[in-house]
Amino acid sequence: MYVVASSVMCPDVIVVGAGPAGLSAAHVLSENGVDFRLFSREQVPGIDKCCGGFVPARMMSEFGIHPFEGCYAINSVRMKFPGMDPVRVDFDFPIGYDVARYRLGTFLLERVGRNKEFVSLETEVSNVVIDNSGCHVTIETPNGRDTEDAEILIDCSGANPVSIRHGYVRGRIPNSEMGYGRQYILERGPNTDEYDNVIDFFYGHEYSPGGYAWLFPRNDIAVIGTGGLVSRVRDDETPLDTYLHRFMDHVVIGEQLRGSHVVSKEAALMPLAGIVTPSFSNRVMLAGDAAGHCSPVSGEGIYYSMVGGACAGEVASLAVDESNFSEKSLIRYEKLWRSRMGSDLKWGAWLQHRLLDGGSSSLGSSLLRSEKYQRIVAEMLIGERSVRSAIIACAPGYLRAKIGL
Q: Which CATH number fits the domain that encloses residue 229?
A: 3.30.9.10
What pLDDT sits at residue 323? 97
User: What total of structural domains would you count in the chain?
Assistant: 3
168 and 65 within one domain: no
The domain in which residue 255 lies consists of 54-99+175-271
Domain end: 251, 271, 291, which one? 271
What is the pLDDT averaged over residues 254-279?
96
Distance CA 4, CA 151 (A): 21
Same domain, 201 and 321: no
pLDDT in tens, 41-98: 999 999 989 899 999 999 999 999 999 999 999 999 999 998 899 999 999 999 999 9
At 37 the three-state DSSP class reads strand
The reply to whether 21 and 111 lie within a common domain is yes
Q: Which residues pair with 264 in a beta bridge?
A: 185
Q: How confident is the model at residue 397 (pLDDT cuts 50, 70, 90)?
A: low
Neighbours of 75 (CB within 10 A): 15
The CATH number linked to 146 is 3.50.50.60
CB 292 within 8 A of CB 273: yes
The mean pLDDT of 97-109, rounded to a whole number, is 96
What average pLDDT does the structure give for the chain?
93
Query: Is the confidence at residue 265, as pLDDT, over 60?
Result: yes
User: Cis ω on the peptide bond leading into residue 278 (within 30° of 0)?
Assistant: yes
Same domain, residue pair 76 and 215: yes
The model scores a pTM over 0.85 = yes
Please indicate, yes or no, whether residues 231 and 380 belong to a single structural domain of this protein. Answer: no
Residues 247-256: contacts with CB under 8 Å, at least 24 apart? 247/202, 247/207, 247/213, 247/215, 248/224, 250/80, 250/86, 250/202, 252/78, 252/80, 252/86, 252/200, 253/200, 253/202, 253/215, 253/224, 256/195, 256/196, 256/198, 256/200, 256/215, 256/217, 256/222
Buried/exposed 312-322: b ≥16 CB within 10 Å, e otherwise: bbbbbbbbbee
Return the pLDDT at 399: 55
158 and 252 inside one domain: no
Segment 186-234, tens digit of pLDDT: 999 988 888 999 999 999 899 999 889 999 999 899 999 999 999 999 9
Report residue 369's pLDDT band, with 50, 70 and 90 as the boundaries.
confident
365 pLDDT higher than 80: no
Average pLDDT over residues 271-295: 98
Per-residue model confidence (pLDDT) at position 340: 98
Expressed in angstroms, the distance from the first to the final Cα of the chain is 62
On whether both 312 and 227 belong to a single domain, the answer is: no
| % of the chain surpassing 90 pLDDT | 85
pLDDT in tens, 147-188: 999 999 999 999 999 999 999 999 999 999 999 999 999 999
Positions of E strands within 192-260: 198-203, 212-218, 221-229
Residue 383 shares a structural domain with residue 292: no
Out of 2-11, 212-221, 351-360, 387-396, which region has the weakest mean confidence (pLDDT)?
2-11
Is 181 found in the same domain as 87? yes
Does residue 404 carry a pLDDT above 70? no
